[in-house]
Amino acid sequence: MNTTNSHQLFDRAKEFIPGGVNSPVRAFRAVGGNPIFIKSAKGAYLYDEDGNAYLELINSWGPMVLGHAHEEVEKAVRDALSGSFSFGAPTRREVEMAELITRMVPSVEKVRMVNSGTEATMSAIRLARGYTGREKMIKFEGCYHGHGDSFLIAAGSGAVTMGVPDSPGVTTGVARDTLTAPYNDLDAVRTLAEANRGNIAAIIVEPVAGNMGLVLPKPGFLEGIREICTREGIVLIFDEVMTGFRLAKGGVQERLGVTPDLTTLGKIIGGGMPVGAYGGKREIMEFVSPAGPVYQAGTLSGNPIAMAAGLAMLRHLDTHPETYNRLEAVGNALAEGFRGNLQKLGLNYTINHIGSMFSLFFTEQEVYDFESAKTSDTRLFGKYFQAMLRRGVYLAPSQYESLFLSTALTDEHIDTIIRASYASLEEILVKA
């Protein structure tokens, strides 16, 4: 596989961009080698600067739930372009987007648009503090909520992939106000809540975690957090930037039947464009400026092109419920195929799976929190990633990232991916 152009672009990038990339995991440090520079994508395929094609399983880290350059989203963007690119003023599409989100997501009565998932989570925490008059928050080890200072304490995903789960530049004051608990450890949450009674503004959680690899909540975990928050007057925030509109039309909260006070959204609501949002109970959202005292603003929030893409995506999902049946079928087929490969090869590695998200962990241990995820053999994962890449399958370049599937994957694609996985596992085990 020739990747000369990608290598040359990476060398140029390192002269002008820190590490040669604009998001750390893209540097491929966790899997070895140099990053692949992408030129275009369509449906289930990525095409790089050297003309190589890859069946891909990350879909821009989640938003391309219908595959790349879906015709409805592309048409919506093209139609919107003729009206100019940005106004810094209200538009009809913002209203239509807000109406659609509040109808589709069970807990959201009002919503504010922003430009990224990070902006959404930062704003939600500030709002929870302003609403409650409290300062502390609880987050979970291995959950990643963007690169806001408060969230880079025991962070997952890119932070742990790069070996720095606590970032320099985060002040001791911020760290002091961020309490951490192991994911799926309800007793730890109870202990923190009791020890800091009256001081905790929010608990923020990925209801299905995707930033230490895919980790599912144990039965009763989310329900228990909901009970604690209700009893203690704590704002419960579900970070559904990844899972919103992917695992169900109304997100994890609809699928699992647990209702948060605030929800953060991103990825799919932009149809691939940079969009985020936070929303929830009317009485809490009324604290956001200009209705209330909690300030948050953004010049490009509600950008007309981004709103056009997001609306096309959400309208499709809203009017085509069969999309979720197909996503479930694709996820089930791939997870079952990968499990079959492991059985044939006599391996006891772990697969976590729900809907159109799954992770293969190179550990024989059950993975239910950050510590168990870290028992994975990341060196072996790197070999597996490279072996799959050589076979034309593009995975997330980190053990600590979930895979995100799309409806663009056909049954033939699925068979190809399963065969590539078997051959890659066989290759790296023989070489080991």
95 Cβ contact partners less than 8 Å away, ≥ 6 residues apart: none
Closest C-alpha among 90, 211, 87 to residue 151: 211
Q: How far is CA 416 from CA 221, 288, 329, 361, in A?
A: 37, 49, 16, 21
Q: Where are the alpha helices (DSSP H) in 177-303?
A: 186-195, 221-232, 251-256, 282-285
- What are the φ and ψ backbone dihedral angles of 54, each rounded to 5 degrees? -135, 130
Residue keyed to tokens 């004051």? 173
Out of 267, 369, 374, 383, the active site residue is: 267
Strands laid side by side in the 350-354 sheet:
350-354, 357-361, 403-404
**Tokens found for residue 265:** 């959204």
SS3 track for 305-350: HHHHHHHHHHHHHHHCCHHHHHHHHHHHHHHHHHHHHHHHCCCCCE
- DSSP3 helix / strand / coil % (the chain, rounded to 5): 45, 15, 40
Which position among 48, 54, 110, 144 bears the catalytic label? 144
Strand pairing partners for 358?
353, 403
Q: In whole angstroms, what is the distance from residue 223 CA to residue 308 CA?
A: 36
* 8 A C-beta contact, residue 381 and residue 153: no
Active-site annotation holds for 144: yes
DSSP codes joined into one string, 360-376: EES-SS---SHHHHTTS
Task: Name the catalytic one among 48, 139, 183, 239.
Answer: 239
Query: Active-site residue 50, yes or no?
Result: no
What does the alpha-carbon distance between residue 214 and residue 324 come to, in Å, rounded to a whole number? 19
267 catalytic residue (yes or no): yes
| DSSP-based three-state secondary structure for 395 | coil
Active site residues: 144, 239, 267
